[in-house]
């Protein structure tokens, strides 16, 4: 037993990157980054499935930040879809599910063409 922690790769969509970069609160930004880092190491914490392959990291700080993500390739890759907070949660979940469905459709079309 080696005790090695295998860190998963986290990829960001442009939507997630814009949301994260627009955060003005440095403490909140640090907390969000830390939660993503912990998730990469397999430490889920307060995470909830939203259905259709999308999960939500719930961060109990400020307005209740949320990060929407999916796991791919046998859980070795995390795709950070988008972020938001409690006030936009319903819309964000809907948008994250649509984003993931669109990505899956594009990948399927790409596979058919090759």
> Residue 109: is its pLDDT beyond 70?
yes
> Residue 3: is its pLDDT beyond 60?
no
In this prediction, residue 1 carries a pLDDT of: 45
Task: Indicate which CATH number applies to the domain containing 31.
Answer: 3.30.2310
pLDDT in tens, 41-51: 999 999 999 99
pLDDT in tens, 61-93: 999 999 999 998 777 899 999 999 999 999 999
Q: How far is CA 5 from the centre of its chain?
A: 20
Average pLDDT over residues 14-33: 98
Domain count, the chain: 1
Average pLDDT over residues 10-21: 97
In this prediction, residue 5 carries a pLDDT of: 66
In this prediction, residue 95 carries a pLDDT of: 98
Residue 2: inside a domain: no
Residue 71: inside a domain: yes
Structural domain for 16, as ranges: 9-112
Residue 75: inside a domain: yes
In this prediction, residue 73 carries a pLDDT of: 72
pTM of the model: 0.91
Residue 53 in tokens: 């392959």
């Amino acid at each position: 037993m080696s005790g090695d922690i295998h860190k998963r790769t986290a990829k960001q969509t442009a939507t997630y990157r814009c949301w994260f970069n627009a955060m003005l609160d440095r403490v909140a930004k640090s907390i969000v980054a830390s939660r993503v880092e912990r998730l990469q190491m397999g430490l889920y914490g307060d995470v909830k499935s939203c259905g259709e392959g999308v999960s939500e990291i719930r961060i109990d700080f400020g307005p209740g930040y949320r990060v929407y993500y999916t796991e791919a390739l046998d859980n070795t890759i995390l795709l950070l879809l988008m972020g938001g907070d409690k006030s936009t949660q319903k819309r964000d979940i809907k948008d994250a599910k649509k984003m993931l469905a669109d990505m899956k459709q594009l990948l399927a079309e790409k596979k058919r063409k090759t």
